[in-house]
Structure 1
Amino acid sequence: MLTPLPPALAIVPPNRPLVGRVSPPGSKSITNRALLLAALANGTSRLTGALKSKDTVLMAAALQQMGVTVDEPDATSFVVTSAGRLQAPEGPLFLGNAGTATRFLTAAVATVDGEVIVDGDEEMRLRPIGPLVTALQSLGIDATSPTGCPPVTVRGKGSFGSGRVEIDAGLSSQYVSALLMAAPLGEGPITVALTGKDIGARGYVDLTLAAMRSFGASVEQLDPGTWLVQPTGYRATDLLIEPDASAATYLWGAEVLTGGRIDLGVAADAFTQPDAAAQAVIAQFPDMPAVIDGSQMQDAVPTLAVLAAFNNQPVRFVGIANLRVKETDRIRAVANELNRILPGLGTEEGDDLVVAADPELASKLVGRNSGIKIETYHDHRIAMSFALAGLRVPGIVILDPACTGKTYPAYWDMLAGLGVELVPA
């Protein structure tokens, strides 16, 4: 493969089924949860099958700033040794545009005895964190965020307090997960309660609870929107991390677009991550349903939207308002880039995304003279999903292909390994 990656990469349609065996990288969601919980546990934890990408490396570096030892004995393992408490770092924690790391650490650093500044890049500084800061303040934690986005300054007193904390999770389930993971370090039991019924991707809260219990936490779900967490702290453990379901969606998509067969080494129903639900929708291609609710598989929506461009009927994506506050406004980004391929292919209707669909799309675009440059907005999921369009449409050029390093550093190697020709553009 090309190293380093060029500024732009053209994808040559293979014109044949893609067949092979691909092992998806480890789950980003579980890796970042496990890294944090291991850092909050007293002892040494071994995390295997982990993802090594920009987001997880930033999380590991931030933990190291706070006195945690993080070793990397091989390409898919972290060995985390901690005294069970985070120490005040000498400078701000810089987390790039890693939403999970930023939200999780904003709550966790409240257990530090001292001041911590949680910050990110220009894109992260536009992503809302106000509801989480307000929830921390209700626990008596000194947390401030003048813009409602990072940077956040937290002046901790060595504990997470006790009592009841309410959170509006309409924008992100990560706020709930952040509070839940910090709660076992409280002075007493902590009740975490939703202020409304809406919660972005509830399945990710289930991932959080499973990870917490693996590290010895005691969490009781009192009702669908309330959890009681005991002040048990965490114990070090060894954890095998499952493959990334969001990454798997690109492989499932490549399979159906080319009529191929790609063995992932893991069945779709073996995943515990919410994005695995996308496989059942992808399996219906080219007859995916006219309406797809993306609320519980948000990271899979860009993949599904690109597939919808080749579907036999138009597709409306609903329940996806939260996509506007991801690494970029993904509703707008997906619509814009679909329209670069063919004007009118993607339309925003409120917070819905409508994909017009054209099963003859590829043949209509054969023979054109110039490539279509896909703007990726520094968003790994836009790059990876629109690369799938290039498996059928001639002339697709992905700008800033290196942005896939955020969660899938080997993405282009994977495509090349399946026989897809990639050309610097």
Structure 2
Amino acid sequence: MPLPIAHVTPVTGRLTGQVTLPGSKSVTNRALLVAGLARGTSQLSGILRSDDTKYMMAALRAMGVEITEIDDTTVAVHGTGTLHAPSEPLFLGNAGTAVRFLTAAVALVDGKTRVTGDAHMQKRPIAPLLETLRAMGVDATSDTGCPPVCVNGTGTFQSGEIEVSGKLSSQYISAIMMLAAMGTGETRIRIGGGKIGAVGYLHITAAVMRAFGAQVSFPNESDILVSPGGYRAAEYPVEPDASAATYLWAAEALTGGRIDIGSAPGDMNQPDAKAYDLIAAFPNMPATINGSQMQDAVPTLAVLAAFNATAVRFTGIENLRVKECDRIEAVHKGLTAIRADLASVEGDDLIVHADPGLAGQTHPCLIDSYADHRIAMCFALAALKIHGVTIEDPYCVSKTFPAYWDVLRGLGVSVDITQP
């Protein structure tokens, strides 16, 4: 069946207004899992309601965690410190955080758990995480190196020293960190290669763990220490989503507007908040941007860079190839659909050949979102300034920002979504 298409009418004025951001997906899914592993009743406020977090909550409920819905952004999580074997496979759609975090957490189940997802998720690699779990004594297998994954849990795992590659997705390491707090002894996670990669995301994980009573430290740039003791219930406010904020910051920059999101970048602990300074530099963004510490912001920055005064090279973004889609290729194809010479790829680097004259031009094209929320949302920015840019499968934004198109409409942008 043909997918819906979003038609965004370019704006001629400044975008101004107030927007309530959704809660952070990264923080929400970490907090849900840790609260589910804690003993007692935790209250989480400001949570994100999206496909990814719904999958996480459904999986926790399937393993015996009671979750009470208080209002649209608040839940009470009643944990017992244990997880029970689910009666059915845990289906998690294309929720990468949920799949990776739960693949580790179900080692605590006394019994067999199958973790799976949709067709996109079944192409996303998870073998390095399984290798790490097996080194911890966990029986974890996959026929393809991608989900579905089978974990035969015994309720325990081997504490001690475990080495993981620094090239791994930070989500793999976060998964091990959250599991390690449930051990009977101290766990030292040693990063092979001598340096942690996307360390900012690991500090988010550590902050959530500490809020629920766990002890975790970074004694040097290659080690993480997690003490035993599990988690205790807590009241925890989830901060607004910095990744979602990047689209609004970029819309401000492109239109010379002012959008009040109720939070300053400096108040956000998420790595993507660092993208604010780069966006604020527009139209004089730096010639090279290392995206390793703000990976989800790279698509936003790349589309903004198309209108920059000078070309921008994005480095340190190889992990974008194993997100919901190959985001390097998706952004490259989207930009070159607008104009053939607008972007190029060299190895894992993305080069955006900027042209401030793009604004106001007409370039009819249909952007393939690859069912990836970040691709759909970032190319809506291009459509704010270029006539003829349309976006396929716009409702995929429900993964993290279900109200995205309504938010744009609330700022005065004309968005028409049609079914072919």
SS of structure 1 residue aligned to 2:254: helix
What does residue 64 of structure 1 align with? Answer: 61
Considering only aligned residues, what root-mean-square deviation do their CA atoms show, in Å? 1.2
1:3 is aligned to none
Equivalent residue number for residue 78 of structure 2 = 81
Moved more, 12-21 or 224-233: 224-233
Structure 1 range deviating more: 105-114 or 218-227: 218-227
Deviation at 1:198, TM superposition (A): 5.3
- Stretches of 4+ aligned residues off by more than 4 angstroms: none
Say how many residue pairs are matched: 416
Q: Percent identity?
A: 57
8 A Cα contact 2:102 2:175, kept in partner:
yes
1:210 aligns with 2:207: yes
Letter paired with 1:92: P
Q: How far apart are the structure 1 equivalents of 2:281 and 2:300? A: 14
The whole-number CA distance in structure 2 between the counterparts of 1:305 and 1:148 is 30
Q: 1:249 aligns with which of 246, 250, 258?
A: 246
Question: Does residue 386 of the first structure (1) align with residue 379 of the second (2)?
Answer: yes
Q: 1:358 matched to which residue of 2?
A: 355
Q: Deviations over 1:278-334 (max 9, x none)?
A: 000000101101111111000000000000110000111011111001100000110
Counterpart of 2:181 in 1: which secondary structure? helix
Asked if structure 2 preserves the Cα contact closer than 8 Å seen for 1:373 and 1:396, the reply is yes
1:121 and 2:118 correspond:
yes
More displaced 10-residue stretch of structure 1: 160-169 or 314-323: 160-169
Q: Which residue of 2 aligns with 1:174?
A: 171
Q: Give the match for residue 398 of structure 1.
A: 391
SS at match of 1:363: coil
TM-score (norm 1): 0.96
The change in CA–CA distance for 1:97 and 1:107 in structure 2 (over 3 A counts) is same
Q: How does 1:362-373 map to 2 (within 5 A)?
A: 362-365=359-362, 371-373=364-366
- Letter aligned with residue 259 of structure 1: G
* Counterpart position of 1:133: 130
* Residue number among 10, 28, 41 corresponding to 1:31 in the alignment: 28
Q: Determine if the alignment matches structure 1 residue 164 to structure 2 residue 190.
A: no
Q: Residue 44 of structure 1 aligns to a residue in which SS? A: strand
What residue identity is the alignment partner of 1:347?
S
| Conservation of the 8 A alpha-carbon contact between 1:169 and 1:175 | no
In 2, the alpha carbon distance for the partners of 1:105 and 1:70 equals 17
In the alignment, structure 1 residue 15 sits paired with structure 2 residue 8: no
Q: Aligned-pair distance for 1:14?
A: 1.7
Deviates more, 1:219-228 or 1:108-117: 219-228
SS of the aligned residue for 1:220 comes to strand
Gaps of 5+ in 1: 1-5
Q: Secondary structure at the match of 1:135?
A: helix
Q: CA shift at 1:174, angstroms?
A: 0.6
* Structure 2 CA distance for aligned equivalents of residues 144 and 424 of structure 1: 42
Match of 1:95 among 92, 100, 125: 92
**Equivalent-residue separation in structure 2 for 1:87 and 1:331 (angstroms):** 39
Tell me how far apart the structure 2 counterparts of residues 34 and 175 of structure 1 sit (CA, whole Å): 16
Determine the C-alpha separation between the residues in 1 that align with 2:217 and 2:315: 31
